[in-house]
Chains A and B, each alone.
Chain A
Amino acid sequence: MILNMGPHHPSTHGVLRLILEIDGETIVRIMPDIGYLHTGIEKTCEAKFYQQVVPLTDRIDYLCPLTNNLCYVLAVEKLLGLEIPPKAQWMRVMLNELTRINSHLVWLGTHALDIGAMSVFLYCFREREDILRLFEMVSGQRMMTSYFRIGGLALEPPLGFFERVREFANRFPAKVDEYENLLTGNPIWGMRTKGVARITAEDAVALGASGPTLRGSGVDFDLRRDMPYSSYEKFKFKVPVSQDGDVFARYICRVREMRESIAIVQQALDGMPQGRIKADAPKVILPDREKMKTEMEALIYHFKIITEGFAVPEGEVYQAVESPRGEMGYYVVSDGTAKPYRVHMRAACLANLQLLPAMCEGRLLADVVAAIGSIDIVLGEIDR
């Protein structure tokens, strides 16, 4: 029998459509059908100035907008050859780890909800709200933050921001214990996740899996540690790896990652350097408002950047960062003008989704729901 699952099915996390060929309750074949959320962001980028692309990147993966911001601005900064001041780099690391927690909380809540554990959702969204308030405080937006700009940050963090983050970071580990109390030792959770949707390390690498999906299969690779960017090499953290390759392994990797992330946030708070938040590049970065009122050059630069953009030297760059879902990469090609010639996003979810047939074929229909949750897909990123 051919069965359609989605695009309106609540457990498909958006608009994923699966065409299932089933024999009784056993899956014979599974065909993902995507593209319902395709908005042509890559094409739109080619018609914008470099700085105008930043808000578009928020909308790709709406659960981790800051990670997308970071990846794009790092790529353009590499094209320009800009040096970013340490404070801006540490702020970027700190906010990125908060974003990772935010994204994992949404994942944990909805994943547990899919499998039937209702209450975890409420616990997770309680803490997520705190993180969104922090984002609102620093950038003015809860979700579409656009806080990282080419050459630094948009604004100085407001007064009292670090105290609020510190307060959250002290409180959060106990909350992770709460989630684990509800799930990790729970026999029903174990029966729904252990040994389900297994994938071997070889298959995961061959199919292009990355992030917790790859580490859940025992491949010890994390871009933050192995190919560091934005001064991640100055932070100490462990990379959780699990050997089992099943839904439970991916669950435990992500939960442990939340603990590591909050440790990175603590380190960033303790060692936050002082100084500027923007690079010294007047042709690229908008001048301060105060300067514009007194200095002619500042006013001219402001006018030129807004109306003409800034030219980026010819070349191409592939920048990858570890997003909550895996390797998020931006391939930016410049032809020497003020608009990118080509922007391509390597979506971690698109590659991870290819694992779904390998995970589910030959298994029960109910396991599909667990498998989709465990690879943590965001359709905005898949379809772009």
Chain B
Amino acid sequence: MPLNPAITEIDQLKAHPALAKLLAWNYGAIEGAKFDRDEMTIYIERSAIREACILLRDDRDCPFNFLADVTCVDWYPKQPRFEIVYHLLSISRKERVRLKVRLGDSPEVDSVTSVWPAANYFEREVYDLFGVRFNGHPYLRRLLMPEDWEGYPLRKDYPVEGYR
């Protein structure tokens, strides 16, 4: 399968169920969209992520009721630096969609644990390894690293061998 160029025009992608639903809800909260290698990515404005998730979870036609994953990509030294990546799955419609939130000045975003309890460990892991704070998380503590660890190992400015 040869690679097709990515589509980034929102107008061409309107037919996708998740994007159509989000655009109808709040046009201003959608920062962009991308269709690349058969995968849909939607960029959401930071303050709207929780409501966008609730909307997609409770959609009647195509409910994205399963949160597969939450992770983060560090684009240091570029700005905005962090990208939080949510992978959603619709079990009934067998569709996937990827939501992204870009975090620039302060690494903080609303937690989606109230939408899917599954986000609990995923968000703790991101906090642990990237130092991104999730507001409203019930128990935001380090998950994998020791409690007294300094620094956030998966950040790009953290050396592979560590500081010690």
Set of chain A residues within 8 Å of B68, measured between Cβ atoms: 208, 318, 320, 327, 329, 346
B96 in contact with A318 (CB, 8 Å): yes
Which one of B14-22, B44-52, B103-111, B116-124 is at the A interface? B116-124
Instruction: Classify chain B: how many residues form its interface, as a range.
Output: 35 or more
Assuming A43-B160, A317-B37, A341-B73, is B67 touching A208 (CB within 8 A)?
yes
B154 in contact with A42 (CB, 8 Å): yes
B117 in contact with A354 (CB, 8 Å): yes
- Cβ of A206 within 8 Å of any chain B Cβ, yes or no, is yes
- Cβ of A34 within 8 Å of any chain B Cβ, yes or no, is yes
- Please give me the residue from chain B that is nearest to A82 by CB atom: B1
**Please, how many angstroms separate the alpha-carbon atoms of A227 and B37 in the complex?**
15
- Cβ of B133 within 8 Å of any chain A Cβ, yes or no, is no
**Please, how many angstroms separate the alpha-carbon atoms of A35 and B160 in the complex?**
18
- Cβ of B23 within 8 Å of any chain A Cβ, yes or no, is no
Set of chain A residues within 8 Å of B37, measured between Cβ atoms: 78-79, 81, 315, 317
Minimal beta-carbon separation of B22 from chain A (angstroms): 19
- Cβ of A219 within 8 Å of any chain B Cβ, yes or no, is yes
- Please give me the residue from chain A that is nearest to B100 by CB atom: A316
- Cβ of A353 within 8 Å of any chain B Cβ, yes or no, is yes
Partner of B121, one of A46, A317, A331, A353: A353
- Cβ of B2 within 8 Å of any chain A Cβ, yes or no, is yes
Assuming A35-B144, A350-B121, A354-B118, is B160 touching A46 (CB within 8 A)?
yes
- Please give me the residue from chain A that is nearest to B67 by CB atom: A208
**Please, how many angstroms separate the alpha-carbon atoms of A269 and B97 in the complex?**
36
Set of chain B residues within 8 Å of A35, measured between Cβ atoms: 142-146
B117 in contact with A205 (CB, 8 Å): no
A318 in contact with B98 (CB, 8 Å): yes
Which applies to chain A's interface (DSSP): helix, strand, loop or mixed? Answer: mixed
Minimal beta-carbon separation of A93 from chain B (angstroms): 19
- Cβ of B80 within 8 Å of any chain A Cβ, yes or no, is no
- Cβ of B6 within 8 Å of any chain A Cβ, yes or no, is yes
Render A212-241 as a binary contact track against B, CB cut-off 8 A, 1 for contact.
000000010100001100000000000000
A207 in contact with B118 (CB, 8 Å): yes
B91 in contact with A383 (CB, 8 Å): no
Minimal beta-carbon separation of B71 from chain A (angstroms): 4
Render A360-383 as a binary contact track against B, CB cut-off 8 A, 1 for contact.
000000000000000000000001
Extra inter-chain contacts (5) besides given A318-B39, A331-B69, CB under 8 Å:
A219-B91, A313-B3, A333-B73, A341-B73, A342-B74
The list of the 3 closest CB pairs from A to B, nearest first, reads A208-B118, A81-B3, A35-B144
Interfacial residues, chain B to chain A (CB-CB below 8 A): 1-3, 6, 36-37, 39, 41, 65-69, 71, 73-74, 85, 87, 91, 94, 96, 98, 116-118, 120-122, 125, 129, 142-146, 153-154, 158, 160
23 residue pairs of the A-B complex, CB under 8 angstroms, read A35-B142, A47-B160, A78-B37, A83-B1, A206-B65, A208-B68, A313-B3, A315-B36, A316-B41, A318-B39, A318-B68, A318-B96, A318-B98, A320-B68, A329-B87, A331-B69, A333-B73, A341-B73, A344-B71, A346-B69, A351-B122, A353-B121, A354-B117
